[in-house]
Amino acid sequence: MQGIRAVSLRMTFSEGEWFYMKSELWRRVDVQVSLFTAVIVAILSYSIFMVQYRITYNDMLRSLNDQVEHIYSYIGERMDTDTFKHISGPGDVQKEDYQKMHDRFQRVKEITGVMYLYTAKMNDDGEFVYVVDCLDPVDADFRYPGDPIEREIYPDMQRALNGERVLPDKIKKTDWGKIFITYLPIYEGEEIIGVVGIEFRADHQYQVYQNLRRVLPVFILLFSLAASLVSRYLFRRISNPFYRDMSNMDYLTRLKNRNAYQLDMKNRIAAKKEKDTGFILIDLNSLKHINDTMGHETGDRYITCISQAYLNMGQEDGIMYRIGGDEFAVVIPGASEEKIRSFAGRLEAEFEKLAFMPGLTFAWGAAIYDADTDNDLFSTCRRADKNMYTKKQKFYEDRMKREDEDGIVGQAVKERAKGQ
């Protein structure tokens, strides 16, 4: 029972830790900037594409409409409306007037490159039928006079018969392919007696549009991802130094401050870089005594000894933060006990060179992240802090012992001098 409870508690903690890390990740300024940039770039990319596409598409429609107007004008000027009204059945294709009109339509098709050109009218039964088709009679798609018009184009043809000029505006999918289609009324005086149908092939335009629809999301995704990465890089290279100077820098020591330490640790946790992260916690001995007896200027000079010692070492092995008045933390990625001892030894050697009076020392303690022991990097830091205070306590105990011994020796000397 206790084992089950322990597992349950461990699972609950893991879920809570996951939620914490997730929430902290979304709070990071660089993540927010990169996501915001990605969204803006995606919206702009889509908008630019759509605007450009619509401009190109509308230019193409204007060109088609101009071509339609020329064809319509040419046919209208040469249309024999009397012949048109009397053509009604397949046998009329042998008539000379039909053949003249048919030949004229064929020449227009060859010159302009239209897909289909034909005329239609409504018969006595209220159905639309073909009148003159531009195709050759031997063509399988040829329509004889009186053949019924396909039902799917009835609505547009009815609009033309009502006097509306139905011009190309979108690609229409039909059984005979993708087309731009237009219907224009045929007048005899003020009366509308039929319809001219003009169809342009749109398979190429349709395929281009479909390809763009498939490629566009990928393009926008890649472009947004690139913009996100670039914005994050630039933010860290440009914005972060300014931000650090404003709120993350300790001006006395020229080290990162406690705020920067908290932010860096949260970022490190979010990035799952806890493994082998080492901490050295440092506390200056007797700073308060020096401040009280020699003034804060001397105390500040004492503080800068430790920071300058670190800066003189170079900053390859670790990052030092001033996290309190006389407290410092060093974060060492890829740490080992040997690496920590080496760092501390070099720091002590540099510090001794800068010490401007006897008795200036510091206590330090270290710890390396252990997934079985530490909840997070802050737990590791607390272990290092505890180790440091153990050494600091021993320092003060040793000093008190020396002072007591010095006091006893001094008293003995005084008594001996008095006896003489």
Instruction: Say which residue, 248 or 23, is predicted with more confidence.
Output: 248
Residue 282 pLDDT grade (very low, low, confident, very high; cuts 50, 70, 90): very high
Q: Is the pLDDT of residue 310 over 80?
A: yes
What is the model's pLDDT at position 237?
Answer: 64
pLDDT grade for 281, boundaries at 50, 70 and 90: very high
Please determine, for residue 175, whether its predicted confidence score (pLDDT) is greater than 80.
no
DSSP 87-156: --SGGGGGSHHHHHHHHHHHHHHHHH--SEEEEEEE-TTS-EEEEEESS-TTSTT---TTPBPPGGGHHH
pLDDT band at 351 (very low <50, low <70, confident <90, very high): very high
pLDDT exceeds cutoff 90 at 279 = yes
- When pLDDT is cut at 50, 70 and 90, the band that residue 1 belongs to is very low
Higher pLDDT, 28 or 2: 28
> What CA–CA distance (Å, rounded) separates 282 from 252?
17
Q: Which of 58-67, 90-99, 282-291, 386-395 has the lowest mean pLDDT?
A: 58-67
What is the reported pLDDT for 30?
Answer: 65
Task: Give the pLDDT confidence score for residue 224 in this predicted structure.
Answer: 78
SS (H, E, C) 218-231: HHHHHHHHHHHHHH
Which of the four CATH numbers 3.30.470.20, 3.40.50.300, 1.10.760.10, 3.30.70.270 does domain 252-419 have? 3.30.70.270
State the pLDDT at residue 4. Answer: 42
- In terms of average pLDDT, the best of 56-65, 139-148, 273-282, 406-415 is 273-282
**Cα separation values, 344 from 310, 315, 363, 366, 383, Å:** 10, 13, 10, 9, 17
Global pTM exceeds 0.95: no
Per-residue pLDDT at 294: 93
pLDDT, mean of residues 101-105: 89
- pLDDT tens string 118-145: 899 988 888 999 998 888 888 888 889 9
**Per-residue confidence band for 409, with pLDDT thresholds at 50, 70 and 90:** very low
- 109-118, 215-224, 280-289: which is most confident: 280-289
Ranges of each domain in the chain: 79-201, 252-419
pLDDT tens digits, 208-260: 777 777 777 787 788 778 877 777 777 666 655 545 455 788 889 989 999 89
SS3 160: helix
Task: Answer yes or no: is pLDDT of 398 > 90.
Answer: no
| Superfamily grouping for domain 79-201 | PAS domain (3.30.450.20)
Digit-coded pLDDT (tens) for 161-170: 999 988 877 7
pLDDT band at 374 (very low <50, low <70, confident <90, very high): very high
Q: What is the 3 state secondary structure string of 268-298?
A: HHHCCCCCCCEEEEEEECCHHHHHHHHCHHH
For residue 295, pLDDT over 90 is answered with yes
Segment 136-159 mean pLDDT: 88
174 has pLDDT over 90: no
pLDDT at 20 over 50: no
Q: Is the Cβ–Cβ distance between 32 and 26 less than 8 Å? A: yes
